[in-house]
């Protein structure tokens, strides 16, 4: 069949249109088809060549430690006592003055569970000095008690007496009339300071046995003592002043603001029993320096007195530096007293307190070594014996 020229022309146009549509569809398909993302070959980021390091090892439970001192400074770590204690507070305050006046040393106060732990840290080289009571230091010198079988790398000498602490007893005011003497605590639950403290040892092993009584001792966090007394979980607690009745430790001061306490004193018969056993208590006049800011229902408090002494040795702290340490504290004692009234005892008789520390320690251990820095200072004052 012969088609007309017009029909052929129409067919060609239709074929061209179809081809254009097909080509366009193919182009659109390839343009919109998602392209597979190639998995990249792992590469190491460009960075400076690292210095080889030792693989990290598990961190051990630390003894109180500190970061290294700034370059050029000599580290001088001093163990104090439990956070919130009077010794810790005073040493932190002293550190500010010592860093300013003796800039070649990096003085640092380390808080430890008690003086025994601090002495052991000194003896093993983990501290440069340690505070302790004479009743505890004598155990080190004689290798008895907490130091039985202990191997010391070094033995300290007596350098400086910081203060005295006067340890007494208090009850809740609601128990006034029910509990009237120390013997009433027999069989009762009481908090008598942390077990590692010298005052706890003194009451537990000497004072209460001399009275023939045996309270039940419990250990409580300082901030919970007032609550325990209020709830009746304990019937009595130890309380203490520092500097001859001038100040309170932070935890006792805070407790008295929320808990009405009353000082519990021994009776004349109890005092006689204690003196017969060679135990003499110190009577703190609470009206003189007014350490308690609330009414504790007493004008005085009978206390067991312990002298806080700083121990080190001349290999760690050379004679001249130790002598300068004493002179710096003496020179700045009024500044320290303005910060903390507990320093008032040192301000009143700096030399006398140093002699008291020596005599107190010698009463327990006559051969106690005395640091040559203290010897030089006392000779200069005309007080060395």
**pLDDT confidence of residue 58:** 35
Q: What is the pLDDT of residue 278?
A: 86
Q: What is the model's pLDDT at position 296?
A: 98
Residue 79: CB atoms within 10 Å: 29
C-alpha dist (Å) from residue 145 to 81, 126, 158, 371: 19, 21, 20, 24
Q: What is the per-residue pLDDT for 45?
A: 35
**Given a cut of 60, is residue 346 above it in pLDDT?**
yes
Which residues, 6 or more positions from 96, have their beta carbon under 8 angstroms from its beta carbon? none
Interval 235-268: pLDDT, tens: 999 999 999 999 999 999 999 999 999 999 999 9
Neighbours of 25 (CB within 10 A): 10
pLDDT digit string, tens, across residues 251-310: 999 999 999 999 999 999 999 999 999 898 999 999 999 999 999 999 999 999 999 999
- Tell me which of 83-97, 138-152, 176-190, 307-321 is least confident: 83-97
Average pLDDT, the chain: 85
Contact of 253 with 169, CB cutoff 8 Å: no
Dihedral over alpha carbons 37, 39, 42, 45 (to 10 degrees): 10
Is the Cα dihedral 181, 182, 186, 188 positive or negative? Answer: positive
- Dist CA 187 CA 302 (whole Å): 21
Q: What is the pLDDT of residue 84?
A: 80
Q: What is the DSSP string of 136-203?
A: HHHHHHHT-GGGTT---S---EEEEEEEEEEEEEEEEGGGTTT--SGGGGTT-EEE-S-TTSHHHHHI
317-353 b/e (C-beta count within 10 Å ≥ 16 → b): beeebbbbbbebbeebbeebbeebbbbbbbbeebbeb
Q: Residue 19: CB partners within 8 Å, gap ≥ 6?
A: none
Residue with tokens 């006067």: 166
CA distances from 110 to 86, 118, 196, 246 (A): 14, 9, 16, 24
72, HSE (Cβ side, Cα atoms, 13 Å):
2
Helix-, strand-, coil-residue percentages of the chain, each rounded to 5: 45, 15, 40
Q: Residue 10 in 3-state DSSP?
A: helix
42: number of Cβ within 10 Å: 5
SS3 119: helix
Contact 254, 294 (CB under 8 A): no
Structure pTM? 0.74
pLDDT over threshold 80, residue 203: yes
Q: Which of 322, 309, 317 is nearest to 368 (CA)?
A: 309
């Amino acid at each position: 069949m012969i088609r007309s020229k017009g029909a052929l022309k129409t067919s060609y146009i239709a074929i061209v249109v179809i081809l254009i549509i097909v080509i366009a569809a193919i182009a659109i398909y390839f343009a919109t088809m998602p392209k597979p993302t190639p998995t990249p070959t792992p590469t190491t980021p460009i960075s400076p060549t690292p210095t080889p390091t030792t693989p990290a090892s598990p961190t051990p439970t630390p003894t109180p430690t500190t970061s290294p001192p700034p370059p050029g400074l000599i580290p001088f770590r001093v163990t104090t006592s439990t956070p919130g204690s009077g010794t810790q507070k005073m040493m932190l305050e002293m550190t500010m003055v010592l860093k300013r006046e003796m800039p070649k040393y990096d003085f640092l106060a380390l808080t430890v569970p008690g003086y025994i732990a601090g002495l052991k840290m000194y003896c093993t080289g983990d501290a440069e000095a340690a505070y302790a009571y004479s009743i505890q230091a004598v155990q080190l010198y004689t290798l008895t008690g907490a130091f039985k079988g202990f191997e010391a790398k070094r033995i300290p000498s007596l350098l400086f007496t910081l203060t005295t602490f006067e340890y007494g007893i208090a009850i809740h005011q609601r128990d006034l009339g029910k509990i009237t003497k120390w013997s009433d605590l027999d069989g009762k639950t009481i908090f008598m300071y942390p077990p590692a403290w010298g005052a706890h040892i003194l009451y537990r092993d000497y004072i209460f046995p001399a009275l023939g009584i045996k309270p039940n001792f419990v250990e409580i966090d300082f901030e919970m003592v007032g609550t325990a007394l209020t709830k009746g979980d304990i019937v009595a607690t130890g309380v203490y002043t520092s500097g001859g009745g001038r100040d309170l430790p932070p935890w006792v001061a805070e407790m008295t603001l929320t808990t009405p306490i009353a000082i519990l004193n021994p009776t004349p018969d109890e005092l006689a029993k204690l003196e017969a056993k060679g135990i003499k208590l110190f009577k703190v006049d609470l009206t003189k320096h007014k350490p308690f800011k609330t009414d504790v229902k007493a004008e005085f408090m009978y206390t067991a007195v312990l002298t806080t002494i700083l121990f080190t040795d001349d290999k760690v702290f050379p004679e001249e530096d130790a002598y300068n340490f004493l002179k710096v504290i003496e020179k700045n004692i009024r500044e320290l007293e303005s910060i903390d009234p507990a320093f008032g005892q040192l301000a009143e008789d700096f030399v006398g307190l140093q002699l008291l520390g020596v005599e107190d320690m010698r009463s327990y251990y006559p051969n106690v070594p005395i640091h040559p820095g203290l010897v030089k200072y006392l000779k200069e004052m005309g007080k060395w014996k």
